[in-house]
Structure 1
Amino acid sequence: MKLGRNLPSLVTMGVFVLLYAACAAQFPFMLSGRVAGNLLTDNAFLGVLAVGMTVVILSGGIDLSVGAVVAFVGVLLAILIGDGVNPFLAFTLALAAGTAFGALLGAAIHLLQAPPFIVTLAGMFLARGACFLLTTESIPIDHPAYAELASGGAGLSVSAWVMLLAFAGGAVMLRLTRFGADVRAIGGDARAAELIGVRIGRTTAAIYAFSGFCAALAGILFSIYTQSAHSLAGVGLELDAIAAVVIGGTLLSGGYGGLLGSFFGVMILGLIQSYIIFTGTLSSWWAKIAAGLLLFLFIVVQRVLMLLPRRAE
């Protein structure tokens, strides 16, 4: 039974290993540490988004606002830093804003008893509209601290380390804290969770606050990666995060999944994109097609796993 529950994550890891081996067979230099480091760095902002999205989907929810929050944070940072604010103070303000925005969405979902899809869709429009109120132009971010943060040095980049720490910290939170247990309980059966003492309202607000925090952190990493900000940045990024989480084996119905699978889901999407770039002959849209095919594959795997216990009965 335990093997069956872990099967989606194991399949994800196996698919990643097979894809990496196939890419390395065609491009042997992909086995170098530099390429592996670039794979982590190039997908760091998506990985951090996937951490927050995994927690949300585990609870049986969805968060469509995160891509717009990434854009808003980037624009906010560009304006603050351009006005002379210390970058690290600007980072703190951006993280606080993202966390507060997520908490408001979570509170609205609970108090209004509205579907998370609708509430976070409204949040997406609000955050994206706020971006255009601040600016409609691309703003370069020229600051020595950004140049230092973007440089990888001899080892992994700062962004890569932040992503790895986010996955590690999120995994510990889900496995070893009361909050993590409450998230899984709500995703499994919200009514039963309430009967055993889970405070649904407070936990829901905390879940979306965590997602907002991760979105703001991803926005910081995205601004470091691009060294600029634009109101149209991050369009569709929320869908990439959802795809990575589902490919990683987390059930969209909630209650089951984990961050290890989500990590490899992010790496699979990044590997597909890297392969397309290395070939130089394929359109970038093939990455979307490949991601769609993988989504169908993992939806089938999840459906089979859900049917097996019923047949056993």
Structure 2
Amino acid sequence: MSSVQTHTPPTPGSASAAGTPNAAVRAAGRIRDTLRSPKYGPVLVTASLLILVFIVGGTRYRGFFSAQVIVNLFVDNAYLLVLAVGMTFVILTGGIDLSVGAVLALSGIITASLLQAGWAPGVVIPLILVLTSVLGLLVGLMVHVFKVQPFIATLAAMFLARGLCYVISKDSISITDPVFVALAQARIPLGGRVSMTWSVVIAIVVVIVAVIVLQYSRLGRTVYAIGGSEQSGVLMGLPVARTKVLVYVISGFCAGLSGILYTFYTLSGYSLTAIGTELDAIAAVVIGGTLLTGGYGFVLGSVLGVLVLGVIQTIITFEGTLSSWWTRIFIGALLLVFIILQKVLTARRR
């Protein structure tokens, strides 16, 4: 008798079935969960958007992919990078800071007026950073101690700072201090004809310090905890009160430093400088994936947001026939899209 051998197909749970297909399904599931996550999803979308608009610019305009164009994105937006870092701290706690544009202008016009009066840059720059940090401290105290809404407190600080600009001078003040001018105009060679300014170095250092603080320090953990649930942070014994005040001090410091970097860029101080720049900073942070309600977001995401805005401005510059107001139109459209994306992702999370 010849024996008949039968072959039993593997069941779905058997080892032979749990091969590459299941691994691929699990990997696809992890990718899908990441894209749907309110923590990582918006950041990945922003990174993809940055790559897309850069490719569009590179295929449409000759020389767009050059190294100097890429470096100029950082040179032209160094001050906005620093401003966005401070704004990221505030928005992560669920707050907002509308005063940063006016504080930037105040920083620039005080710097220009003091340098014109003969003060040394080594004295002026630390003094500006202290003054803007103190202004941030006052805002933080208004928010925490007196329970003033961040929108109202920072709006008041915005009017105060902008008013002080007009008190100091209604006209543009040129900076001619030789040390300051030499520092502003100094270029760091990167090879070939490519070079960058010291403003970029300062902005990168600020970004690195902010990343370390938010990801690896108790202050950073408390910032995220406040944005997630302030009451839970209090119950866990975290220094909520001190941190809520400190984030506005950080924002004031960054706004002051941003003003100094802006004076490096323009070599002047003017009371009308940076009108609406606070909205650019907020847009960059939101487009970079930080939730307006707080709790989720990354500094590097804000950097991506700034670069997206910079690439859009560069494309409009290369086009040559479009008004600069198209930048505002595109920023507004992107901001609306990302706010809707945040709402969708947080709704799914619940």
Deviation string, structure 1 residues 35-88 (Cα, Å, up to 9, x no partner)? 111110101111100000000000000001110101111111111111111112
Partners in 1 of 2:217 and 2:283 — Cα distance? 26
Counterpart of 1:34 in structure 2 is 68
**Within 2, Cα distance between the matches of 1:42 and 1:75?**
19
The residue identity in structure 2 corresponding to 1:187 is G
Q: How many residue pairs end up in the alignment?
A: 310
Give the 5 Å matches for 1:132-147: 132-147=166-181
Written as runs of structure 1 = structure 2, the 5 A alignment for 1:11-90 is 11-90=45-124
Unpaired stretches in structure 1, ≥5 consecutive residues: none
- TM-superposed CA distance for 1:109, in Å, is 0.7
Q: Does 1:125 align with 2:165?
A: no
Distance in 2, matches of 1:267 and 1:177, equals 27
2:289 equivalent to 1:255: no
Mapping of residues 206-225 of structure 1, within 5 Å = 206-225=246-265
In 2: Cα distance, 1:119 partner to 1:153 partner: 40
**One of 330, 335, 339 as aligned partner of 1:290:** 330
Cα distance, 1:298 vs structure 2? 1.0
**In structure 2, what is the equivalent of residue 172 of structure 1?**
212
Following the alignment from structure 2 to structure 1, what is the Cα–Cα distance between the partners of residues 112 and 345? Answer: 46
Structure 2 CA distance, aligned partners of 1:267 and 1:150? 22
Q: SS state of the match for residue 109, structure 1?
A: helix
Alignment of 1:148-227 (within 5 A): 148-151=182-185, 152-154=187-189, 155-227=195-267
Deviation at 1:309, TM superposition (A): 2.2
Tell me the percent identity.
45
Amino acid at match of 1:118: I
2:204 alignment partner, SS class? helix
5+ unaligned residues in a row in structure 2: which ranges? Answer: 1-32, 190-194
1:234 paired to 2:274: yes
Q: Indicate conservation of the 8 Å contact 2:223/2:243, yes or no.
A: yes
Larger Rg: 2
Structure 1 letter corresponding to 2:146: L
Task: Report whether the alignment pairs 1:101 with 2:141.
Answer: no
- What displacement does 1:2 show? 4.9
Report the TM-score, using the length of structure 1 for normalisation.
0.96
Given that residues 107 and 201 in structure 1 are in contact (C-alpha distance below 8 angstroms), is that contact kept between their aligned partners in structure 2? Answer: no
CA distance in 2 between partners of 1:49 and 1:149 (Å): 21
Give the secondary-structure state (helix, strand or coil) at the position aligned to 2:64. Answer: helix
Picking from 306, 318, 324, the partner of 1:266 is 306
**What is the alpha-carbon distance in structure 2 between the residues aligned to residue 26 and residue 149 of structure 1?**
36
Quote the Cα distance in structure 2 between the aligned partners of 1:159 and 1:21: 27
On the 8 A contact 2:188/2:198 being kept in 1, the answer is no
**Cα distance in structure 1, aligned partners of 2:319 and 2:106:** 34
- Of the three residues 318, 323, 328, the one matched with 1:278 is 318
Q: Return structure 1 stretches of 4+ with deviation > 3 angstroms.
A: none
SS of aligned partner of 2:265: helix
* C-alpha separation in 2, matches of 1:9 and 1:149: 35
**Which structure carries more helix by proportion?**
1
Q: Deviations over 1:166-203 (max 9, x none)?
A: 11110110000000011111111111111111222211
